[in-house]
Amino acid sequence: MKEIKQAIKNHLRMDTQGALLISGAWGSGKTYYLKQKLFPNLIEETGYTPVIISLYGENDIKNITKKIFQGILAKKGDKILRTDSWLSSALSNGKKILKSIKIINKYVDTEELLEMVMGNVFDLIHTHNIALFLDDMERLGEGINTNDFLGYVNELSENKGGKVILVANSKEMDVLKYREKTISKTIQYTPDLLSLFDDVIEEFKDDQPFFSYLSSNKKFILRTLDSSFDPNFQSISDMYSKRLKEDFSNLRFLNSALEHFKDIYTIFSNKRNITEKVFDTQLKNLWCFILGIIIENRSSHGMQLTKEDRKGLDIMGSQWLSIENIELFTGNIDSIVNQEDTPEKDDRTKFIEKYFSRISQRFFFFEEVYKFICSGSDINEQEFFIDLDNKFRIVNDTLSPAYDLLNEFMSVKQSQFSDKEFPEKLQQLQNYIEKGDYNKYIDYINVSVYLFGYKDYFENPKSNDDIRKSLEQGVRIFRDRSSFDLSEKFDIERMTEGQKDPNVIQYKNFILKLLKEKVEATHKDEASVLEKLFIKSPNDFYQAIYNNGSIIFSRNTPIFHLFDFEQVTLGITNWQAEDYLVLSSLMNKKYLKGLNLRDFEEEFPFMLELINHFEAKDTSQKVLSMYYLETQLKPILVKVRQRIEQWDNAGDDFKRIVTI
């Protein structure tokens, strides 16, 4: 900021021709800095009176002249009337016209008359001791071409001896054209977040608790905006493009994020009866989420998030699943970011790296906060707090010691552990896992990443078998005390995609085996649940089978042979068009697209009965459901029958070859 101020003072002091250009990104606080920081002391320090006008959308140079005239008048007022005869004369003539308006209005277009008077103001403008700031130059309207504006600024700065300072985002205009003819020097404005932050949060001083929170957490918030405020973290400029850094420095984005964060803080303060540590942990994580959503929602080169289009941010997943990824969230990302052969990352991964991983925060998607930002809907506080407690594993308003430690491993940079402390932390983690103190299967897998990855860093180094024994003991304890949710298998499969550590993969498969054993004990119960799902909603049944919603049954396992045929035929009498269409798709994928039918032989009898049932159904009634049954489902079922019969008639050699 000192460089900007000194450049402007030198421009005013020196006998130079041409305009000075202050260039900076949109929303970076250029205008705010000039008005709030520079202008108050400019007269005293230089003798020049600052006048600033916006060129945004201006299509007529005459109107720019009027705005300059009005700006000078507003700043100097009566002093100009006493000392500048040219302006006094112009205003005197204007006043006479205004006094006569009632009389001449009947005969003369007074607006046109004023236009004529004001149109000659440019010839009278005297810029002595005026520092004229022309803001938003790159946003001039299409009605003013470049050459005309260049000539106008040249007239002000050279022929009238004015001190003109142009303010713009030079990236959005052809600077060379201006530089050759009009601009004598260009100064780049780079916001000083440290000082700007203090100014910005002053706006929240009326809410003393929130203001105090922002002030006391200033270092953390500044780290989220620019990691150069903490030497332990990688610089944003080294990690991401210059545009990303501009987004973090955009004052409008920061203000918007703080306004939304204030509402969340208020909800917390009024409703949350939690420990200080939980309060602090959750709020900091929510700030990262709010900042990221605001930027990606509003930035012209962001993800353009909407209420409906979340770009996959709400899809369950985890970035904490390999020892390589541990490096990712500790900030040591050079080896990841700079690899030329690294495949293109999806939007979700990029979002996590931008707003969470680089400052060692875990990523969670907060549904209520997302809707609050992207659609303006009120936050359902009950749903919001349930979601928070579930994500942070809060029990009785407190974070358990086991999860407190796991969060330290998952969100704190490894270098913050001392050499003495790290082996102790690892041993504590192993102790918690042995007792089965975690309440989600994915947590056991996350712990396995650290225990296997750092087995040599224990005070007494561990073998893979030592670690495996502890992990298997703990997850068995948890399995025996917990009920099973069908979605957990889906979570485990999805959240461990890309895992490379063979020990972690082996442990994941062990957990899946335990789950299968648990469910097999109630095999018929799950089949009964799926049967009811098939009757009520073929689409939900389809999703359960094809998207791993079932621990036992999948696209490659038989299921229909376990259904009660009479119950099914009674239940599907009210199927609609969509239901028949979904069954058509299911039958096509299951029986017609694949070569191998051996896995489904058990359900052939049920399927043939079902085909007979549908073929016998009267579809003459002119309703949409019967139309879809006749035109969509029946043709598929005919082919399925043929395929089953062909398979039954095929020899064992053929079946063996296809199966292989």
* Distance of alpha carbon 27 from alpha carbon 48, whole angstroms: 26
Confidence of residue 647 (pLDDT cuts 50, 70, 90): confident
Signed CA dihedral, 411, 415, 418, 422: sign only: positive
Give me 182's structure tokens.
């009009």
The residues spanned by each domain of the chain are 2-84+126-190, 195-518, 536-659
Average pLDDT of the chain is 78
Q: Which residue has the tokens 């959240």?
A: 495
Q: What is the pLDDT of residues 128-140, one digit of tens each?
A: 788 889 988 888 8
* Distance of alpha carbon 366 from alpha carbon 263, whole angstroms: 15
Centre a 10 Å sphere on the Cβ of residue 31 and count the other Cβ atoms it contains. Answer: 18
Res 47: pLDDT: 87
Mean predicted confidence (pLDDT) in 512-541: 82
CB-based contact 355:289 (threshold 8 Å): yes
pTM comes to: 0.57
Half-sphere exposure of 461 (CA within 13 A, CB side): 5
State how far the alpha carbon of 518 is from the alpha carbons of 88, 492, 513, 601, in Å: 94, 16, 9, 26
Ranges 13-22, 86-95, 482-491: which has the least confidence: 86-95
Say yes or no to pLDDT of 330 above 50.
no
* Distance of alpha carbon 260 from alpha carbon 344, whole angstroms: 32
Q: Which superfamily, per CATH, for 2-84+126-190?
A: P-loop containing nucleotide triphosphate hydrolases (3.40.50.300)
CA 227 to chain centre: 18
* Distance of alpha carbon 538 from alpha carbon 65, whole angstroms: 70
Q: What is the pLDDT of residues 5-37, one digit of tens each?
A: 888 888 888 877 788 888 887 777 788 888 888
Q: What is the pLDDT of residues 171-221, one digit of tens each?
A: 766 655 556 567 878 888 776 667 778 878 888 999 999 999 999 998 888
Q: Which residue has the tokens 């909603």?
A: 537
* Distance of alpha carbon 112 from alpha carbon 222, whole angstroms: 54
